[in-house]
Structure 1
């Protein structure tokens, strides 16, 4: 990422750090209030994250991180990549950025009042414009990569639900195939699909769901856990069925395996966090030569373990070994080939004994779970280069943001 901001701009932005630390969330809340007053822009956002406050928190952390690293924004390359991938999935375009800039600058002036001098506003205008150009440039590259890929596309492509399977009492998988019958882009294991849905009585909603299958030329599988407060997950469970057509954008996301896996892998998940992990495991199971793979997964009970049958099938074939933890049972199922069962939750002390000094860790699950796991691994001296994790929804946890 080139450094092209003036010294004056960088100095002023850094001088605003105390104000951002004190009022950053107020600024982003005001920004979204202004931005979402435009119906055309509002449809680009996940309104559930607005209701919970996660989206303003995530943006406040991102703005603060940008200000702290304004002298060398290349330190934020991982965060920039994650944002760019998310934007591409949601089909954010260059013409959307001025709306965001206007809302952000207006919010800064509104919250800071007399402190928002013309010099400060001009510096933030330059800083936002620079970051916007960086994101637009990276997003342009990703869009082009999608367009150039076999089976790839840009924009929204209609897919039909051709299969539905209940994995557990509250989790369902859906098979998606393109309406045009043409090939689909083979995703990178760990990526997600983004959806544009027009729900009766609700309106337009956009969501991301991890692909839970290995790459294929003709279909994707997504696996969705029902959330009682989740408007879209409830719609999928209660209404989505075979024959329904959905608008889908090409696979996105940077929580992916490298093209050539050269190190042992430890895959750590909890609950529905196993969905992108399953895509990885099914992919690795097809490779002739691959380093060792170890799965560590937490669920409430055996019956609530998503993909339980498939896990046992793959483990029996020697594709990986696994330790499964059940937080709400006292009696364990019998040991099966390649799989150990445990009562209680996965703990940092247990995890401490399972690092061979070379393994790369891929982690996905609820934010609190990931924070605990990442902190435990970091405390063991494991470098960030060996830690990879997926964040469902906006990055509203400050620890996870700073670790990324």
Structure 2
């Protein structure tokens, strides 16, 4: 399917309208779609619907599409991020037709007479083009997973072990019930975990980063590290899935999809030998970076690594002891720098923290030794709340780092907003 010049012009001209009414359109869209197709509650996050995060994210995506419809290459990263998530949730091609039907319907419902036949026709065609992009991209991902790892769809796993990493973060070691060796993933990637949520009566899925380094030749288990989320006040479902997981005992079963995600480091890339890596996180954002850190110290191609982390306190800090051990065993390759907002009487400066009573402030670090600013090849991987990631990116760019060298991960719905 292709768009005519006239249709492209019409879609671009609707960008201001979408900016004004986009969230109203997507809110109506989700309400109609899910009300009339309740089985889709098994796919969409009930919490993201309740808080409005899902409609807001879709509104931003639709606006971006209208803005760049004549330059889709500008959206390549967003398309990749969304496609990876769709594959992890097992979104199927047939579902795109249903979504398109209700999205066009919502545009007409909200805009009324302003949704002229030409506008409706242009957006119908534009959605078809976008759907084809996602169906094609995701189809290749499904085929690759199935061909390489013989894995498509949800797979039953058993919680083999639970290990407390901090006061509100626990690691879950998941073993496949079928006993078949698990494929190797790229450090930084995630899996979707699906469980039945009794509170809502539907299956619910969430993405959790794999927090252990992958092993050559396959693995017997995966490790995810999950924070028990308090949730947002008023949504009635604080940390719906994280609380369910934390309440599960060893031996309980969950369903897991194939590892996905475009936020990763390839430790086998010999061309990157000697290129510094700076890993920056706050709180549970350390989970994908932990897999990256451990993979880099095990890789034949050695790269200098700087671990920079901020936590509310040492009791809330995940992997503290594990990171200290890695630094001790690899002093020439790895350095660590920890910011604690609150220091306890048992915390030792230079051991449990480097900077006390403060949020993360990169200007307190040595630009050359800790941030590797002098080496323009340096790559920066940041994970944490969106506001944190965007702020840290601003700081790095202000220090002279090329924006393309800064990689952000996002746990929540949608994409990372620009400054």
Out of 348, 351, 367, the position equivalent to 1:333 is 348
Is 1:28 aligned to residue 41 of structure 2?
no
Say if 1:358 and 1:351 are closer, same or farther in 2 by CA, change over 3 A.
farther
TM-score (ref. length: structure 1) = 0.94
* Separation of aligned partners in 2, 1:87 and 1:47: 16
Out of 217, 220, 224, the position equivalent to 1:218 is 220
Are the counterparts in 1 of residues 29 and 106 from structure 2 also a CA contact under 8 Å? yes
Out of 358, 363, 369, the position equivalent to 2:388 is 369
Give the corresponding residue for 1:299.
Answer: 311
Cα deviation, 1:43-67, whole Å, max 9, x if unaligned, reads 1111111111111111111111111
Is 1:249 aligned to residue 247 of structure 2?
no
Write out the 4+ residue segments of structure 1 that deviate beyond 3 Å after TM superposition. 348-352
Give the corresponding residue for 1:69.
Answer: 68
* Separation of aligned partners in 1, 2:82 and 2:66: 16
Is 1:237 aligned to residue 251 of structure 2?
no
* Separation of aligned partners in 1, 2:319 and 2:7: 52
* 1:25-104 superposed matches below 5 A: 25-37=23-35, 38-104=37-103
Give the corresponding residue for 1:190.
Answer: 188
* Separation of aligned partners in 2, 1:103 and 1:314: 52
Is 1:209 aligned to residue 208 of structure 2?
yes
* Separation of aligned partners in 2, 1:351 and 1:140: 45
Are the counterparts in 2 of residues 265 and 294 from structure 1 also a CA contact under 8 Å? yes
Out of 385, 397, 401, the position equivalent to 2:404 is 385
Q: Which runs of 5+ in 2 are unaligned?
A: 231-237
- Partner of 1:285: helix, strand, or coil? helix
Are the counterparts in 2 of residues 158 and 245 from structure 1 also a CA contact under 8 Å? yes
* Separation of aligned partners in 1, 2:6 and 2:60: 23
Deviation at residue 351 of structure 1 after TM alignment: 6.0
- Partner of 1:251: helix, strand, or coil? coil
- Partner of 2:187: helix, strand, or coil? coil
Name the stretch that deviates more: 56-65 or 341-350.
341-350
Deviation at residue 382 of structure 1 after TM alignment: 2.2
- Partner of 1:294: helix, strand, or coil? strand
Is 1:277 aligned to residue 289 of structure 2?
yes
Are the counterparts in 2 of residues 352 and 377 from structure 1 also a CA contact under 8 Å? no
Aligned residues: 394
- Partner of 2:257: helix, strand, or coil? strand
- Partner of 1:122: helix, strand, or coil? helix
* Separation of aligned partners in 2, 1:390 and 1:268: 11
Give the corresponding residue for 2:280.
Answer: 268
TM-score (ref. length: structure 2) = 0.90
Are the counterparts in 2 of residues 191 and 256 from structure 1 also a CA contact under 8 Å? yes
Is 1:133 aligned to residue 135 of structure 2?
no
Are the counterparts in 2 of residues 44 and 206 from structure 1 also a CA contact under 8 Å? yes
Deviation at residue 340 of structure 1 after TM alignment: 6.0
Are the counterparts in 2 of residues 35 and 42 from structure 1 also a CA contact under 8 Å? no
* Separation of aligned partners in 1, 2:70 and 2:390: 28
Out of 226, 229, 239, the position equivalent to 1:227 is 229
Name the stretch that deviates more: 244-253 or 347-356.
347-356
Say if 1:202 and 1:42 are closer, same or farther in 2 by CA, change over 3 A.
closer
Give the corresponding residue for 1:199.
Answer: 197
* Separation of aligned partners in 1, 2:315 and 2:278: 23
